[in-house]
């Protein structure tokens, strides 16, 4: 499925064609001094196109720093006047949009706690009718691709054609080294649904800690993303919000210089032929895997019939445990990771149980 959006491609609206596009600045606007001191350093970096700062901060619990509000918009203006950087901030309702437009904010973004709510997104879209401004939509905090696509559609239908998606990871119960799980399949799928919408990665909110930011950033470029929104603060340790995931402007410069920008394609003919050969090999192997899976499911159904005739339960815990340990030891001996193989086996087992349940009950499940 693709969604028909009216999009102005990134390269057309960045006159200086800075690709990857970089939006950088503090998590929150804290004071005029902090904003200007950060911006004065960031503007030295040619790779940065927009200065960001949160003015209204959506906080999980009340009592934490909730942003400086409208007053901070004057500091934004000061940054813009002094450094010439374009400025960006987060909006969550009509009032935010209106006051940002009055203060000459150049780019608006919709945060992860707002893009999750179609009522709020529609309210923002209505406030944007007839306005020509780039709008970025962060993925919703929960992994729901349709909500993300829906939010982009609502903003696009309001007439915004300078649209950006921002991948900032997803909340999860699962233990993970990241603050928000990257779940790369979501931005990849978004690219295939909305091929014209540029996607930026927000490695700060995915990583949650400075040391994981380079890894996430390189991975984003390897996934062909179009740039970054990164948090940068003149004195990250003293930041009033998200202190652990902000880089100094110097550290950000190092990061951007160290990243390897790969090309989506190349003119090198030998490379292309070799790549084609390898891709054909992958196609053949995928077909083999599909055939084997199909054959395996047919056998599972036969076992289901047999169990039914003999009145035996579908789930045989002991057999399943033995099978897992046997398959895992073979897989790891063959160089596959235990986590990966466990995931594959879980899926295969789930499908076998579903097929056997159909046989047992004589109806589709
Ligand atoms: C932010 O960019 O500071 C922010 C609050 O982000 P998110 O909406 O991704 O949590
Ligand atoms: Mn933040």
Domain borders along the chain are 10-258, 269-360
Model pLDDT, residue 183: 95
Low-confidence ranges of the chain (pLDDT < 50): none
> 338 CA to middle of ligand 1, Å?
34
Residue 138 Cβ < 6 Å to ligand 1: yes
**Near ion ligand 2, which residues have CB within 5 Å?**
27, 242
Tokens of 348: 């295969």
Residue nearest to atom 10 of ligand 1 (CA): 112
* Ligand 1 closest atom vs CA 113: 8
Residue nearest to atom 3 of ligand 1 (CA): 27
- Counting ligands in written order, which one lies closest to the CA of residue 245? 2
350 sits in which H/E element: helix 338-361
The CATH code of domain 269-360 reads 1.20.59.10
Q: How far apart are CA 204 and CA 213, in angstroms?
A: 6
**Of 81, 91, 129, whose CA–CA distance to 111 is shortest?**
91
The tens digit of pLDDT for each residue in 321-347 reads 999 999 999 999 999 999 999 999 999
Contacts of 88 (CB under 8 A, 6+ apart): 23, 25, 50, 51, 52, 53, 105, 106, 107, 108, 109, 136
The tens digit of pLDDT for each residue in 33-69 reads 999 999 999 999 999 999 999 999 888 888 888 899 9
**Of 124, 122, 172, 123, whose CA–CA distance to 144 is shortest?**
172
- Taking the whole predicted model, whether its pTM rises above 0.85 is answered as no
Residue 52 Cβ < 6 Å to ligand 1: no
> 205 CA to middle of ligand 2, Å?
7
Domain 10-258: which CATH class? alpha beta
Residue 54 Cβ < 6 Å to ligand 1: yes
Whether 10-258 shares its CATH topology with 269-360 is answered: no
Q: How far apart are CA 176 and CA 272, in angstroms?
A: 37
């Amino acid at each position: 499925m693709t969604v028909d959006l009216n999009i102005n491609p990134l390269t057309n609206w960045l006159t200086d064609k800075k690709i990857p596009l970089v939006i950088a600045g503090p998590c929150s606007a804290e004071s005029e001094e902090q904003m200007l001191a950060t911006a004065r350093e960031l503007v030295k970096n040619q790779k940065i196109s927009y200065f960001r700062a949160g003015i209204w901060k959506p906080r999980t619990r009340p009592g934490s720093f909730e942003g400086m509000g409208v007053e901070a918009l004057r500091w934004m203006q000061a940054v813009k006047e002094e450094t010439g950087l374009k400025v960006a901030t987060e909006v969550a309702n009509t009032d935010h949009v209106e006051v940002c437009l009055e203060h000459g904010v150049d780019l608006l973004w919709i945060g992860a706690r707002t893009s999750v709510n179609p009522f709020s997104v529609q309210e923002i879209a209505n406030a944007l009718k007839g306005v020509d401004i780039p709008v970025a939509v962060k993925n919703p905090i929960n992994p729901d691709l349709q909500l993300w696509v829906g939010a982009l559609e609502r903003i696009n239908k309001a007439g915004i054609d300078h649209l950006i998606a921002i991948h900032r990871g997803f909340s999860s119960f699962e233990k993970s080294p990241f603050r928000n799980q990257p779940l790369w399949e979501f931005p990849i799928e978004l690219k295939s649904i909305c091929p014209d919408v540029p996607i930026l990665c927000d490695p700060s909110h995915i990583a949650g800690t400075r040391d994981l930011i380079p890894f996430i950033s390189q991975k984003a470029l390897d996934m062909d993303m179009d740039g970054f929104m990164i948090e940068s603060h003149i004195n990250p340790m003293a930041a009033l919000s998200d202190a652990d995931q902000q880089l100094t402007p110097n550290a950000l410069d190092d990061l951007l210089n160290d990243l390897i920008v790969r090309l989506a394609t190349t003119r090198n003919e030998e490379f292309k032929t070799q790549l084609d050969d390898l891709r054909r090999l992958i196609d053949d192997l995928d077909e083999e895997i599909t055939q084997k899976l199909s054959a395996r499911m047919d056998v599972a159904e036969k076992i289901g019939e047999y169990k039914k005739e003999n009145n035996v339960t579908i789930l045989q815990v002991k057999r399943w445990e033995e099978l897992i340990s046997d398959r895992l030891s073979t897989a790891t001996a063959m160089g596959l990771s235990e986590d990966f193989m466990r995931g594959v086996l879980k899926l295969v087992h789930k499908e076998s149980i579903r097929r056997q349940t159909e046989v047992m009950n004589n109806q589709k499940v």
